[in-house]
């Protein structure tokens, strides 16, 4: 077993003198006990799972057992790291997290460079309605603007000499009609 | 050979070499001279600017343009890509403008960033950006343009995230890259369509062959590319977020050069665009929506850089409108004049921010006219140029655009929106000047606020000069492609001026109301809409990533397994067959003797019938 190392563990024995025991523990990876397990059915299993995840038994709430494969992983609040106090002295200040804290199932979504769930000053439904109302109104008005475009007043083009009667294929034998392109 | 034909391309190629040389000097392992930024980089840009004036004068005097093909990159039997430069009026005018603005910004940055430990690297990044930008504007084929396009995108990412210890800067840099990438989908779509249908990425061949095709799809791809790069509505939030970068970055990339790359692309490819009504209408409507929406957002911002960023976005919308009117030259003119006064606005903001100890909130500024008179005067000049004050730089482009708008056959709502946005421009420009320069200081007296450093004053002076005369000089010397409207009613002629003055007076009136209260409880809804940027970032930056990420993880880890193993595979067989099995076994009543005798009887009868 590579990476095996000796860890020194001191046990305080009941008769008030310390007895040191050598414990051999692998220094690579998580132990089998700390990995997530099956959905906890009995109160003892719940307590053990809560301890494993560093939660209080009252706070521990697993995901519902509906076949989605969550096991005993705790269901933490869906709040992102943006909402945590920026001035508190976290162990990892950039992640706003303390050592040993249970990680959210979607922790990589709740980073400070991803989704922000902080409360907005304006309720979500108001925001949604106003934005899509604005865009919908604009699209509708653009449609109306296409139907009723704006342009400067124009008239058909005027040519000299009977509006180019001969050039436009008029009959040379017939007398062309009088064309008046001006008004005095 | 005619000397003009030699001079023009030679000078432009020399510019590339002049700009590349400082970058190449950084490729040795020895640490750079501490003065490298000033001595090598700024000098190179200055030299390149003066070199670029020669092609400019040749263009103005003789109308000379050149296309230079140098090295063959790939040649198949049917498809050629070579290094191909087009030194036409657009690139020959844009290059000196960009170099002039960059020169001023670099000189300013030598003061702004002088306490930064990595100043040499900062200047190197700016230089690489500039080289990529010039590659973009001088490209004669789509491949080279794409190289420049991606180059400016990457340098934008690196420069926005310059202070990478700050999470907000990293988020902003990521935002810029992602939004630009969405736009790149459109550009690549257009490139593939062109490669397969027109069999070339050379602009000349594309233009000649494209007359026979329905170009709607590639043009919509192009418009998507411009939407991403030039921050049009729906792909715009990255531009105000990009203000996380240092002020020289905002001045160079996100006002003058990089963001106009999308518009420049549409200008370059205008021959393909001009016959397609759908594409032109899309440009027009998108530009009008952008210009109004971002002007609305600019009205209530409190960070001086954000106001200027939204102002940039609004002007980019105006350029898009001009493209929609089929006036690429006017759009290009606006690009050039806008570069001057927008860069100056950013430099003045940077100077004020640094003087006030990195304070960016305009509610905590005030009275700067007494403390930094030159800077605040140039701020005013820049704002006047922005609003299109007659005979400053912005007037020649902006007024011409609005005249063209008023006299064209176009969507009436687009016209209305653009005019409203023009009046909003005056309003938020006054807001900046009112809060920053006028009245009394709203901050504690700080150690010396002065304008004694020539590295700050000279760039701003140069850009102020440009803001005043550039529009005039360029308009005098270029020939229009389309006949401009020669006659129009007086109201239409003065329309731009009237709406601007209206906006100015409304803003002045509102400013005087800031010490009075008419209503007991204000109605915050319009203010919220404007201040929270139309709620667009809130909704889009939360909904889309959350939906994509949760859906992605759920599908990949749970749903697939659940679907294949439980709902349609082994467990499904189990659960489906459970009912019939239970029913069948419950029907069984254990009467074995009866079942056996029935079985034998049935077998005997069958055999008897078979035999007979």
B49-72, pLDDT tens digit by residue? 999 999 999 999 888 888 888 888
pLDDT tens digit sequence for B302-351:
999 999 999 999 999 999 999 999 999 999 999 999 999 999 999 999 99
Of the candidates A121, A101, A106, A115, the one whose C-alpha atom is nearest the C-alpha of residue A75 is A106
- Check CB contact under 8 Å for B535 and A117: no
Give the other-Cβ count within 10 Å of B289's Cβ.
26
Q: How many Cα atoms occupy the beta-carbon half-sphere of B167 within 13 Å?
A: 12
Q: How many Cα atoms occupy the beta-carbon half-sphere of B448 within 13 Å?
A: 4
**In angstroms, how far is CA B527 from the centroid of its own chain?**
26
B contact test, residue of A115, A118, A119 with most B CBs within 10 A: A115
A18/B contact by beta carbon, under 8 A: no
Query: How much of chain A exceeds pLDDT 70, in percent?
Result: 78
Q: What mean pLDDT is predicted for residues B274-287? A: 95
- Computed on alpha carbons and rounded to an integer, the radius of gyration of chain B in Å comes to 31
Q: Is B367 left (phi over 0), alpha (psi -120 to 50) or beta?
A: left
Contact between residue B116 and residue B243 where contact means Cβ atoms under 8 Å apart: no
Nearest CA in chain B to A148: B412
- Check CB contact under 8 Å for B545 and A134: no
Nearest CA in chain A to B284: A142
Give the distance from residue B242's alpha carbon to the nearest chain A alpha carbon, in angstroms. 14
- State the pLDDT at residue A170: 66
Give the distance from residue B47's alpha carbon to the nearest chain A alpha carbon, in angstroms. 41
DSSP B462-520: HHHHHHHHHHHHHHHHS--SSPPP----HHHHHHHHHHHHHHHHHHHHHHHGGG----S
Contact between residue B293 and residue B529 where contact means Cβ atoms under 8 Å apart: no
pLDDT tens digit sequence for B10-43:
998 899 999 999 999 888 888 888 888 778 899 9
| Chain A residues close to B174, C-beta within 8 Å | 113
Q: How far is CA B221 from CA A1, B188, B217, B493, in A?
A: 58, 8, 6, 35
Contact residues of B toward A, CB < 8 A: 167, 170-171, 174, 281, 285, 289, 406-416, 488, 492, 525, 528-529, 532, 534-536, 538-539, 541-542, 545-546, 549-550, 553-554, 557-558, 561-562, 566
Number of inter-chain CB pairs under 8 A, A vs B? 93
Q: How far is CA B92 from CA A184, B20, B56, B95, B282, in A?
A: 52, 19, 6, 6, 29
pLDDT tens digit sequence for B487-498:
889 999 999 999
Give the distance from residue A145's alpha carbon to the nearest chain B alpha carbon, in angstroms. 5
- Check CB contact under 8 Å for A150 and B542: no
Residue A79 confidence (pLDDT) above 50: yes
Residue B191 confidence (pLDDT) above 50: yes
- State the pLDDT at residue A24: 52
Residue B248 confidence (pLDDT) above 70: yes
Indicate the burial class of B440 (C-beta count within 10 angstroms; 0-12, 13-18, 19 or more): exposed
Q: What is the largest CA-CA distance in chain A?
A: 137
DSSP A49-104: HHHHTT--TTT--BPP-SSSS-TT-B------GGGS-TTS--SBTTTTB-TTPPPP
- State the pLDDT at residue A159: 76
| Chain B residues close to A94, C-beta within 8 Å | 167
**In angstroms, how far is CA B303 from the centroid of its own chain?**
20
Q: What mean pLDDT is predicted for residues B220-231? A: 96
pLDDT bin (cut points 50, 70, 90) of residue A165 is low
- Give the nearest partner residue to A131 out of B413, B539, B546, using CB atoms: B539
- CA gap B471, B467 in Å, rounded: 8
The residue written with tokens 């991403």 in the block is B228
Q: By three-state DSSP, how is residue A22 classified?
A: strand
Rounded to 5 degrees, what are φ and ψ at B67? Answer: -125, 125
Q: Please list the residues that pair with A11 across neighbouring strands.
A: A19
Contact between residue A20 and residue A9 where contact means Cβ atoms under 8 Å apart: yes
pLDDT tens digit sequence for B425-446:
999 999 999 999 998 999 988 7
Contact between residue B380 and residue B504 where contact means Cβ atoms under 8 Å apart: no
- State the pLDDT at residue A26: 57
Q: What mean pLDDT is predicted for residues B180-199? A: 95
Residue A114 confidence (pLDDT) above 80: yes
Residue A89 confidence (pLDDT) above 90: yes
- CA gap A102, B136 in Å, rounded: 49
Contact between residue B441 and residue B366 where contact means Cβ atoms under 8 Å apart: yes
Residues with Cβ within 8 Å of residue B550, at least 6 apart in sequence = A106, A109
Give the distance from residue B528's alpha carbon to the nearest chain A alpha carbon, in angstroms. 8
- Check CB contact under 8 Å for B535 and A122: yes
Contact between residue B534 and residue B297 where contact means Cβ atoms under 8 Å apart: yes
The average confidence (pLDDT) of chain B is 92
Q: Provide the Cα torsion A101, A102, A106, A107; round to 10°.
A: 20
DSSP A141-154: HHHHHHHS-B----
Nearest CA in chain A to B234: A135
Give the other-Cβ count within 10 Å of B551's Cβ.
11
**In angstroms, how far is CA B582 from the centroid of its own chain?**
67
Q: What is the ipTM of this complex?
A: 0.86
Give the distance from residue A129's alpha carbon to the nearest chain B alpha carbon, in angstroms. 10
Residue B380 confidence (pLDDT) above 60: yes
A94/B contact by beta carbon, under 8 A: yes
> What is the dihedral sign for C-alpha B334, B337, B340, B341?
negative
- CA gap B159, B173 in Å, rounded: 8
Choose the most confident range, by mean pLDDT, from A106-120, B411-425, B513-527, B550-564: B411-425
Give the other-Cβ count within 10 Å of B439's Cβ.
15
pLDDT bin (cut points 50, 70, 90) of residue B270 is very high
Of the candidates B415, B411, B339, the one whose C-alpha atom is nearest the C-alpha of residue B382 is B339
Residue A2 confidence (pLDDT) above 60: no
Residue A15 confidence (pLDDT) above 50: no
Nearest CA in chain B to A124: B539
- Check CB contact under 8 Å for A116 and B289: no
- CA gap B599, B495 in Å, rounded: 102
pLDDT bin (cut points 50, 70, 90) of residue A13 is very low
- CA gap B187, B150 in Å, rounded: 11
A145/B contact by beta carbon, under 8 A: yes
Q: What mean pLDDT is predicted for residues B1-17? A: 86
Q: What mean pLDDT is predicted for residues B529-551? A: 91
Contact between residue B310 and residue B294 where contact means Cβ atoms under 8 Å apart: yes
pLDDT bin (cut points 50, 70, 90) of residue B410 is very high
| Chain B residues close to A128, C-beta within 8 Å | 535, 539
- Check CB contact under 8 Å for B549 and A109: yes
- CA gap B353, B101 in Å, rounded: 20
Rounded to 5 degrees, what are φ and ψ at B130? Answer: -65, -40
**In angstroms, how far is CA B318 from the centroid of its own chain?**
13
Instruction: Give the residue with greater pLDDT, B519 vs B378.
Output: B378
Q: By three-state DSSP, how is residue B69 classified?
A: strand
The residue written with tokens 């750079």 in the block is B32
Contact between residue B421 and residue B496 where contact means Cβ atoms under 8 Å apart: no
Of the candidates B488, B295, B466, the one whose C-alpha atom is nearest the C-alpha of residue B396 is B466
Q: How far is CA B443 from CA B217, B437, B497, in A?
A: 55, 13, 35
- State the pLDDT at residue A20: 43
- CA gap B86, B203 in Å, rounded: 9
- CA gap B344, B338 in Å, rounded: 10
Residues with Cβ within 8 Å of residue A56, at least 6 apart in sequence = A50
Q: What mean pLDDT is predicted for residues A157-182? A: 71
Nearest CA in chain A to B558: A68
Residue B365 confidence (pLDDT) above 70: yes
A155/B contact by beta carbon, under 8 A: no
| Chain A residues close to B289, C-beta within 8 Å | 138, 142
Q: Angle at CA B423, nearest 5°, toward B483 and B479?
A: 20
Contact between residue B242 and residue B160 where contact means Cβ atoms under 8 Å apart: yes
Contact between residue B330 and residue B400 where contact means Cβ atoms under 8 Å apart: yes
The end-to-end CA distance of chain A, in Å, is 111
Residue A8 confidence (pLDDT) above 60: no
Contact between residue B262 and residue B183 where contact means Cβ atoms under 8 Å apart: yes
- Check CB contact under 8 Å for A131 and B535: yes
The 3-class secondary structure across B112-158, one letter per residue, is HCCCCCCHHHHHHHHHHHHHHHHHHHCECEHHHHHHHHHHHHHHHHH
pLDDT bin (cut points 50, 70, 90) of residue B289 is very high
Give the other-Cβ count within 10 Å of B266's Cβ.
25
- Check CB contact under 8 Å for B412 and A148: yes
Instruction: Give the residue with greater pLDDT, A30 vs B101.
Output: B101
Q: How do the residues of chain A divide into helix, strand and coil, expressed in percent and rounded to 5? A: 25, 10, 65
Could you list the beta-strand ranges (E) of B176-315: none
pLDDT tens digit sequence for A26-72:
567 778 888 888 899 999 999 999 999 999 999 999 999 887 888 89
């Amino acid at each position: 077993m590579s990476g095996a190392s000796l860890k020194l563990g001191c046990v305080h024995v009941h008769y008030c003198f310390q007895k040191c025991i050598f414990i051999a523990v692998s220094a690579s990876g998580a132990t089998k006990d700390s990995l997530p397990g099956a959905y906890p059915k009995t109160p003892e299993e719940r307590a053990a799972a809560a301890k494993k995840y560093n939660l209080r038994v009252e706070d521990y709430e697993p995901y519902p057992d509906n076949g989605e494969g969550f096991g005993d992983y705790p269901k933490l609040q869906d709040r992102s790291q943006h909402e945590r106090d920026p001035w508190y002295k976290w162990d990892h200040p950039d992640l706003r997290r303390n050592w040993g804290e249970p990680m959210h199932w979607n922790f990589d979504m709740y980073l400070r460079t991803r989704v922000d769930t902080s409360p907005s000053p304006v309720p979500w439904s108001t925001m949604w309605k106003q934005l899509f109302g604005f865009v919908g109104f604009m699209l509708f008005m653009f449609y109306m603007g296409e139907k009723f475009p704006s342009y400067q007043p124009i008239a058909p083009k005027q040519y000299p000499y009977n509006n180019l009667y001969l050039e436009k294929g008029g009959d040379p034998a017939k007398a062309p009609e009088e064309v008046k392109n001006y008004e005095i | 050979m005619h000397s003009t034909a030699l001079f023009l391309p030679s000078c432009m190629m020399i510019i590339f070499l002049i700009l590349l040389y400082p970058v190449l000097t950084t490729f040795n392992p020895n640490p750079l001279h501490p003065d490298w930024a000033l001595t090598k980089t700024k000098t190179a840009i200055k030299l390149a600017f003066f070199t670029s004036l020669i092609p400019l004068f040749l263009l103005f005097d003789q109308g000379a343009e050149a296309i230079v093909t140098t090295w063959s990159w790939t040649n198949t039997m049917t498809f050629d890509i070579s290094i191909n430069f087009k030194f036409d009026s657009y690139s020959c005018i844009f290059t000196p403008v960009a170099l002039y603005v960059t020169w001023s910004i670099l000189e300013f940055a030598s003061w702004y960033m002088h306490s930064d430990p990595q100043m040499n690297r900062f200047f190197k990044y700016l230089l690489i950006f500039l080289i990529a930008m010039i590659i973009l504007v001088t490209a004669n084929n789509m491949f080279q343009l794409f190289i420049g396009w991606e180059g400016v995108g990457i340098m934008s990412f690196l420069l926005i995230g310059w202070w990478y210890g700050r999470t907000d800067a990293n988020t902003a840099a990521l935002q810029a890259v992602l939004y630009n990438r969405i736009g790149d989908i459109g550009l690549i779509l257009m490139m593939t369509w062109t490669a397969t249908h027109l069999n070339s990425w050379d602009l000349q061949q594309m233009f000649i062959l494209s007359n026979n095709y329905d170009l709607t799809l590639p043009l919509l791809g192009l418009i998507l590319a411009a939407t991403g790069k030039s921050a049009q509505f729906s792909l715009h939030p990255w531009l105000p977020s990009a203000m996380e970068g240092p002020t020289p970055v905002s001045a160079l990339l996100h006002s003058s050069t990089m963001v106009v790359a999308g518009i420049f692309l549409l200008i370059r490819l205008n021959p393909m665009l001009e016959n397609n009504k759908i594409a032109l209408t899309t440009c027009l409507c998108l530009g009008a929506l952008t210009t109004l929406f971002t002007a609305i957002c600019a009205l209530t911002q409190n960070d001086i850089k954000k106001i200027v960023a939204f102002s940039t976005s609004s002007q980019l919308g105006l350029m898009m409108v001009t493209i929609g009117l089929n006036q690429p030259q006017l759009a290009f003119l606006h690009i050039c004049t806008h570069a001057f006064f927008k860069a100056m606005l950013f430099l003045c903001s940077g100077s004020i921010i640094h003087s006030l100890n990195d304070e960016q909130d305009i509610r905590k500024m005030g009275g700067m006219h007494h403390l930094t008179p030159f800077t605040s005067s140039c701020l005013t000049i820049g704002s006047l140029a922005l609003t299109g004050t007659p005979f400053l730089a912005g007037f020649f482009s902006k007024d011409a655009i609005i005249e063209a708008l008023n006299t064209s056959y176009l969507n009436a709502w687009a016209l209305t929106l653009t005019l409203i946005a023009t009046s909003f421009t005056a309003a938020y420009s006054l807001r900046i000047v009112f809060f920053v320069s006028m009245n009394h200081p709203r901050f504690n007296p700080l150690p010396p606020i002065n304008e004694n450093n020539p590295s700050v004053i000279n760039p701003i002076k140069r850009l102020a000069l440009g803001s005043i005369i550039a529009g005039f000089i360029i308009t005098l010397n270029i020939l229009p492609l389309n006949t401009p409207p020669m006659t129009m009613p007086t109201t239409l002629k003065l329309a731009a001026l009237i709406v601007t003055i209206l906006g100015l007076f409304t803003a002045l009136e509102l400013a005087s109301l800031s010490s009075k209260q008419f209503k007991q409880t204000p109605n915050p809804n319009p203010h919220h809409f404007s201040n929270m940027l139309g709620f667009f970032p809130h909704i889009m930056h939360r909904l889309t990533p959350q939906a994509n990420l949760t859906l992605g993880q759920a599908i990949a880890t749970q749903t697939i397994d659940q679907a294949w193993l439980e709902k349609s595979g082994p467990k499904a067989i189990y659960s489906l067959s459970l009912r019939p099995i239970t029913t069948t076994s419950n029907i069984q009543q254990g009467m074995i003797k009866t079942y056996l005798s029935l079985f034998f009887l049935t077998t005997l009868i069958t055999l008897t019938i078979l035999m007979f």
